[in-house]
Amino acid sequence: MSDIRVVGSIDIGHQSIKAVVARVTGEAVEVKGAGKAPTRGLHDGKVVDIEALGKAVRQALDEAQFSAGQAVSRVVVTISPRAKRGSSVEVELPIKGKKVTQSDVAQIMRVARQMPAGSADAVMHTEVHEFVVDDQGGIDNPVDMTASSLRLRGYNITAPAVDLDCVRRAVSKCNVEILRIVQEVHASGFSVLDPAERDLGVVLVSFGADTTKIAIWAGGVLVRNATIPEGGRAMTDSLAVAGPFTTGVAERVKTEYGVASVAAGSNENGVQVPSRGRGQIAVTTSFVASILEPHVFEILRVVRRELELSGYSDMVKAGTVLTGGAAALPHIDEVAHQVLGGLVRIGHPHSVSGISDLVRNPEYAAATGALQMLCESDASHLYDPDAENARTLGARVRQLLNWLF
């Protein structure tokens, strides 16, 4: 990564797109600017209008570049794929009594990323749990070890290949090179989790607009991820019906006056906000909490069930970290403790310098985490759209047309 000095990060969420421009040196990320735009061209996690999505990405990226006072030519992209889970992977490579080389490691990573023939999915990231040299497991780096065979055990995060291609096309319309496409919740983990938490075992809950992502780390590696088909938008919609408000007013009420717990709400006179057909009405935090709390409880109950089904319940000694938009709701950590037990905290992006106050909101966790992930991860573990698309002549032609038009 020594050749990268200034790079952009684009987090394509279901409701908004966040962009960050940062100076990246080694493992240090210095944020220079940030931008945000409403998401367009995306429905239920699927790209339905490449042109509209490209314009939305451009809007967020332009704002970030203007804020930074500097343009970028290369970006890393995070998405929330429709694929609900990843899968365990184990592959073996014959070494025939020679020393393991970097080329061998790269080759076994390529084998691990291969999907079955006819699969509609592509591997975004391979999380290596361990390398096994002959019968000796628990090896982090097998290079220079003499072996008869090399085995990799890990976890593949997948996404529909068509989604990755559509995202690549939309972002490429901004005349930038895509360095990597990574999963939003995985990137968030690099931003808001400490290495000690990942080692001890931790659950990351990332609240999005339409979905809530769950990722479980144990022994320092990602071991499971899942998606709950409910997020902050359902809270807004329920508030809009109960208000009754327009969706825009409901979102503002949720953001400015929402709390996750009825017990923490206030029954004071409240604030006056416009209502559909009723002029101005008074809204109290108690009323808003009565609408939001059931949604928060239901999401967290599903998180608890997923954790129980995963078999890792006894391995998450560091508890639960909440991030994403709805994690900003006051008292949501207290509700999470009631439902999940154990330690609970709100995850804010850390280990970034510069104008970091601008992006310490949990909703920027994926955008900043993707940059840290780019620095810290072995590049061979990540989905490389250029490498994938260079396999066919047709893909090369498409890249040329994108560049020209």
Question: Tens of pLDDT along 20-79?
Answer: 999 887 667 889 999 999 999 998 778 999 999 999 999 999 999 999 999 999 999 999
The residues with which 6 forms a beta bridge, in sequence order, are: 23
Phi, psi of 73 (to 5 degrees): -115, -10
Q: What is the pLDDT of residue 275?
A: 85
Q: Where are the domains of the chain?
A: 6-83+162-191+351-404, 87-160, 194-346
Is residue 309's pLDDT more than 80? yes
- Mean pLDDT, range 305-324, rounded to an integer: 92
Asked if the peptide bond before residue 294 counts as cis, ω within 30 degrees of 0, the response is: no
Closest CA to 279 of 242, 238, 243, 236: 243
Helix 161-172 crosses helix 50-68 at what angle (to 10 degrees)?
A: 50
pLDDT surpassing 70 at residue 141: yes
What integer is the mean pLDDT of 257-261?
91
Q: How far apart are CA 87 and CA 161, in angstroms?
A: 16
Query: What average pLDDT score do residues 144-148 get?
Result: 94
User: CA–CA distance from 228 to each of 38, 82, 85, 172, 306 (Å)?
Assistant: 22, 11, 11, 30, 9
**Residue 297 above 60 pLDDT?**
yes
Fold of the CATH domain 6-83+162-191+351-404: Nucleotidyltransferase; domain 5 (3.30.420)
CB under 8 Å to 43, separation ≥6 — which residues? none
What's the average model confidence in pLDDT over 354-368?
79
pTM over 0.85, yes/no:
no
Identify the band that residue 400 occupies on the pLDDT scale cut at 50, 70 and 90.
very low
d(Cα 37, Cα 170) in Å, to the nearest integer? 15
β pairing state of 121-133 and 279-283:
unpaired
For residue 82, the model assigns a pLDDT of 67
- Whether 85 has a pLDDT exceeding 90, the answer reads no
pLDDT band at 151 (very low <50, low <70, confident <90, very high): very high
Same fold, 87-160 and 194-346: no
**Model confidence at 405: pLDDT above 80:** no
User: What's the mean pLDDT in 216-240?
Assistant: 90
The CATH number of the domain covering residues in 87-160: 3.30.1490.110
Residue 13 has pLDDT above 50, yes or no: yes
How far is the C-alpha of 195 from the C-alpha of 350, rounded, in Å? 12
Confidence class for position 211, pLDDT limits 50, 70, 90:
confident
Beta-bridged to residue 35, according to DSSP, are 19
- pLDDT at residue 387 greater than cutoff 50: no
349, 368 Cβ separation under 8 angstroms: yes
| Range with the largest mean pLDDT of 42-46, 121-125, 134-138 | 134-138
Judge whether residue 383 has pLDDT over 70.
no
- pLDDT averaged over every residue in the chain: 86
What's the average model confidence in pLDDT over 140-145?
93
pLDDT in tens, 158-189: 888 899 999 999 999 999 999 989 988 888 88
Q: CA torsion 374→376→377→379, rounded to 10°? A: 60
Q: Which two tokens stand for residue 235?
A: 């809270």
CA–CA distances in Å: residue 358 to residues 57, 78, 254, 364: 19, 19, 21, 9
For residue 84, pLDDT beyond 70:
no
Q: In this model, does residue 382 exceed pLDDT 80?
A: no
Q: Which long-range contacts (CB under 8 A, 24 or more apart) does 248-251 make?
A: 249/273, 249/274, 249/275
How many CA atoms are closer than 13 Å to the CA of 186, on its beta-carbon side? 33
The SS3 assignment for 110 reads helix
Shortest CA distance to 25 belongs to which of 49, 51, 44, 2? 2
| pLDDT exceeds 70 at position 2 | no
**Across 385-400, average pLDDT:** 41
Identify the burial level of 291 via C-beta atoms within 10 angstroms of its C-beta, where 0-12 means exposed, 13-18 middle and 19 or more buried. Answer: buried
Domain 194-346 sits in CATH at 3.30.420.40
pLDDT on residue 336: 96
Residue 1 banded pLDDT, cuts 50, 70, 90: very low
Q: Which of 85, 362, 43, 369 is nearest to 214 (CA)?
A: 85
